[in-house]
Amino acid sequence: MAVLTPSKIDAYALAPEKKLTLYMLMLGFAALLVGTLFGPLQAFNYAGINLYTFLKPLVQSYYQGLTIHGVLNAIVFTQLFGQAVMLYLPSRELGLRPNMTLAWVSWWMALVGLLITALPILANAASVLYTFYPPLQAHWAFYVGAAIFVLSSWVTVYLTLEMWMRWKRRNPGQITPLATYMAVTFWLMWWLCSLGLVVEVAVFLIPWSTGLIGGVDPLLMRTLFWFTGHPIVYFWLLPVYTLAYTTLPRLAGGKLISDPLARLVFLLFLLFSIPVGFHHQFSDPGIAPAWKFIHMVLTMMVAVPSLITAFTLAASLENAGRARGGQGWFGWIKALPWNNPTVLSFLLGLLAFIPGGAGGMVNASFTLNQGIHNTTWIPGHFHLQVATLVTMGAMGTAFWLIPHLTGKRLVGEGYAVASQWLWFLGMFIMTFALHWMGWLYQIPRRAFISGSPAAMEAYKQSGVWMALNAISGIILTIAIIFFFYVIFATALQSRHEPSQVMAEVPFTQVISGPQGSGLAALTERVWFWFGVAVVLVVLAYGPVLFQMLTHLNPVPGQRLW
Ligand code: HAS
Ligand code: CU
């Protein structure tokens, strides 16, 4: 009779969650693989080189390629990574299993939604970029697929909340463990903010693209889009913050300095992520300056939790560096385990996030925004945020999570380390050049440069910065090849490693815990704070939306490609 060793018991007992998490993660990384391979084409475009000619008839235009790049990387990969870790972490922390039938429903919805969206994009019937601003009109399948894809995340919202409430019933009066607290506030924030996108797509864009209604109001559509579109950046960021708080200190050899402060950060994101969307619409006519001013002030508020994060993580990393023998003012930085690919990816990603965050404050300042809006500064900004910190945090996490989920050893650690240095270097060069070109030369974003002689003349003045884009494109391509080699070689090998099968989630210990903390008790009143968040959203958006809905200016759809 076969004897079940502890490793086998653990593998069997946890197999369902691990399999689901692995499938979510791998679907996300598959999207990232295709999406990032289109990145260098954009980088080369900014260098005046049109590589799209070689992709015809598969990909018809720069705009079709940019749609594939934006949708797969910014919408698909990020959501799937969030669905993978923000259900798995609380499930392991609480020792509870989510409803697995529904969990698989969410995976299938994501896959089917993705395929339905992909078809019109690949057929060049939806080259509307990831913001799909009307009057640009895509084939109806693009909106239907996107809706199914996004609604898949609502299933994960339900699964996480149900698991948490089950735990609350069994542990009355107890403070929710940290990773679960983060997941709960994260999913509540996402559910509330995704209403804008869901209404835009389900109520307006699907009927419009199927011909049921003749027109939609571009300003209202943009407003509903940015209602979701700003907080969506925290939907991308917060899974990585959660991992940075709950695993990075331990992986770096130390402890998290404050658990209550970490809770406060997530609560502030729940409160202030949403009522700020007009900072994307400072240049839009039809919104009174007073409302733009209110959203600007609230945007400054939403930087606060990131500033607290900078402090808490730096202090926790210092704790780790000193525990490893680092001395003096900066010796602790050197003492951190830079050779650990996960720690490395977080350190480099967080370093990039400092100028990225500072650039965010420039964007958020009404007057400064006039200088950089719709220039290459903007892709410069968000490639530091989502393409560096968020993507590197996900890559770095994959280096322990895929071995943990599959019970297999990480293959090619040297390639893993190299991929992160190269990614950081490539993104650093590219974002530096994009910021420079945007701010000083006013080079427009989303412009097809390499095909037009007139545009090329204008671009030539930014000389060396253009060339840097092409160089960064090459570096990033090498980085992504190294990364995917490690991921696929790890996941596809046949050998299992017993120690990996048993490996735990590396949850960190804390120096200052939640017990007896007034702050932790205050943040624990999640439903009360959710109510406050709803009130803030209604106050910041209600009157403007009411005015827009009562003064509709519908226009028919257009195809400019
Ligand atoms: Fe942004 C546009 C303002 C954060 C993404 N943003 C965008 C767009 C994207 C995006 C995709 O106000 C373009 C949308 C489009 O297509 O049009 N953004 C902000 C502000 C923040 C901010 C104020 N953005 C993000 C994040 C993103 C993201 C996060 C993705 C994940 N953004 C704007 C505005 C616009 C905008 C305007 C519209 C511009 C326009 O005109 O169109 C803040 O949340 C940033 C706060 C961050 C900080 C940094 C804290 C630093 C930390 C690192 C610490 C380092 C450590 C390392 C510990 C204050 C946490 C230690 C290391 C050792 C080695 C020891
Ligand atoms: Cu924003």
Give 50-114 as a 3 state SS string.
CHHHHHCCCCCCHHHHHHHHHHHHHHHHHHHHHHHHHHHHHHHHHCCCCCHHHHHHHHHHHHHHH
Q: What residues does each domain of the chain span?
A: 13-550
Banded model confidence at residue 465, pLDDT cuts 50, 70, 90: confident
Confidence of residue 1 (pLDDT cuts 50, 70, 90): very low
pLDDT at 422: 98
Mean of pLDDT values over 488-498: 89
Atom of ligand 1 nearest to the CA of 317: 65
Name the residue at shortest CA distance from atom 45 of ligand 1: 357
Kindly state the average pLDDT of the residues 428-454: 88
Q: How confident is the model at residue 4 (pLDDT cuts 50, 70, 90)?
A: very low
Q: What is the pLDDT of residue 133?
A: 97
- Mean pLDDT of all residues in 122-139: 97
Active site residue 435: no
**CA of 93 relative to ligand 2 center, distance in Å:** 31
Residue 442 has a pLDDT of 87
Does residue 95 come out as left (phi exceeding 0), alpha (psi in the -120 to 50 range) or beta? left
Radius of gyration of the chain (CA): 23
Q: pLDDT tens, 519-534?
A: 999 999 999 999 999 9
Residue 7, pLDDT > 60, answer: no
Q: How many CB atoms lie within 10 A of CB 202?
A: 15
- Is 230's pLDDT higher than 60? yes
Q: Which two tokens stand for residue 256?
A: 């998290």
Q: Which residues contact 5 (CB under 8 A, 6 or more apart)?
A: 498
- State mean pLDDT over 28-50: 92
**How confident is residue 501, by pLDDT bands cut at 50, 70 and 90?**
low
- Where does the pLDDT of residue 13 fall: very low under 50, low under 70, confident under 90, or very high at 90 and above? low
Integer Cα distance of 102 and 480 in angstroms: 33
> Which candidate in 92, 279, 383, 435 is catalytic?
383
For the Cβ of 378 lying below 6 angstroms from any atom of ligand 1, the answer is: yes
CA of 515 to the centre of ligand 2 (A): 35
Which of 74, 416, 15 minimizes the C-alpha distance to 236? Answer: 74
* pLDDT at 96 exceeding the cut of 80: yes
Structure confidence at residue 12 (pLDDT): 55
Topology (CATH level 3) of domain 13-550: Cytochrome C Oxidase; Chain A (1.20.210)
User: What does the pLDDT read at residue 2?
Assistant: 41
Nearest protein Cα to ligand 1, atom 1:
360
Ligand 1 centre to CA of 210 (Å) is 36
Asked which of 39-48, 150-159, 320-329 is least confident by mean pLDDT, the reply is 39-48
pLDDT higher at 441 or 512:
512
Q: Whose CA is nearest to atom 54 of ligand 1?
A: 310
Ligand 1 centroid to residue 437 C-alpha, Å: 19
Say which residue, 2 or 68, is predicted with more confidence. 68
234 included as an active-site residue: yes
Contact 420, 348 (CB under 8 A): yes
292 lines ligand 1 (CB under 6 A): no
365 lines ligand 1 (CB under 6 A): no
Query: Do 179 and 242 contact (CB within 8 A), yes or no?
Result: yes
Is any ligand 1 atom within 6 A of the Cβ of residue 279? yes
Which of 240, 382, 392, 420 is the best mutation target for the ligand 1 pocket, counting ligand atoms within 8 Å of the beta carbon and taking the most?
382
Mean pLDDT of the region 367-379: 96
| Range from 11-15, 144-148, 362-366, 532-536 carrying the lowest mean pLDDT | 11-15
Mean pLDDT of 56-69: 94
pLDDT value, residue 496:
83
Testing ligand 1's pocket by substitution, the residue of 280, 375, 388 carrying the most ligand atoms inside 8 A of its CB is 280
Q: What is the pLDDT of residue 48?
A: 83
CB 441 within 8 A of CB 449: no
- Per the CB < 8 A criterion, the answer to whether 267 and 178 are in contact is no
- Report whether residue 302 contacts ligand 1, using a CB cutoff of 6 Å: yes
Catalytic option among 346, 445, 484, 541: 445
Out of 69, 139, 222, 230, the active site residue is: 230
Segment 267-278 shows an average pLDDT of: 97
Q: Which of 419, 393, 554 is nearest to 484 (CA)?
A: 419
For all residues of the chain together, what is the average pLDDT? 94
Q: Is residue 6 over pLDDT 50? A: no
**Tokens encoding 177:** 């463990």
Q: Is 373 a catalytic residue?
A: no
Label residue 101 exposed, middle or buried (CB < 10 Å: 0-12, 13-18, 19+). exposed
